[in-house]
Structure 1
Amino acid sequence: MALAMVAEDRQINDVLEELFAEEGNEMQIRPADLYLREEEEMNFYEIILRARQRKEIVIGYRLESAERAIINPPAKDMRRRWSSKDVFVVIAEKE
C-alpha cells in the first residue's frame, strides 16, 4: 500500500521516510489534556492548531468510550465536548 501511495504523490514519500527513519518523528498516542481542558467544546481543526503549537501533528483520536481510533476524521468542523480520557493520535518527535 505504501508503494502505491508514493507512486501517486511524491510528497507522501517524504512523510513515509520521516516516519520510518531511526531518528525523527513517530506516531504516538497523547492524552487529551495536553491539548484541552476537561469538557472543553472544540472541533478537530482547533485541536490541530493547539497541537501545532507543540510542534505535533494530530491525525486522529480515540474517544474514551470507543474501541478504535478514528484517523483523518471526516467531520473535522463538528464541535464536541472532549473528555480528558480521550486520546489523540499524533506525529511527534521521538522522545
Structure 2
Amino acid sequence: MAFFFRNELKFWVYTESGGEVNFNREVSLEVHDAVKPIGVLFEQEEMYNSITKNNFPGTIREIYKSTDKTFMIYTKGISEVLTREINRDEPDGQRELEKL
C-alpha cells in the first residue's frame, strides 16, 4: 500500500504483515520542472487563498501497484505566469485550466 499527500511528489510504501502495517520505503519523484507548492506561514493563514491563487503545483494523481511494479500518474503543475493570464472568473478560463 502507498500513501501520499496532496502536492508532494513523493510517496511512502508500507507493507502489511501479521496484522501490522510497517514502513517500507520513501519514493521521491525527480521531476525537475515541476511547479512547487507555495508555503504559507500559520500567521498568514487568513491570506492563504490570495497568496496561493496562482499556484497550481505538481501533484500525484493516482498510484497503481502490480505484482512487481508501481505506476504513477502525476501532473507537473501549471506555471504562475500562465495562470495569471487565465481569467478564472469566466467559464472559458475555467475550462482552459481544466485542459492544462
> Shorter chain as normaliser: what TM range?
under 0.3
TM-score (norm 2): 0.22
User: Which structure has the highest strand share of the two?
Assistant: 2
Bigger Rg over Cα: 2
Q: Which has the higher contact order (CA 8 A, sep 6+)?
A: 1
User: Which structure has the highest helix share of the two?
Assistant: 1
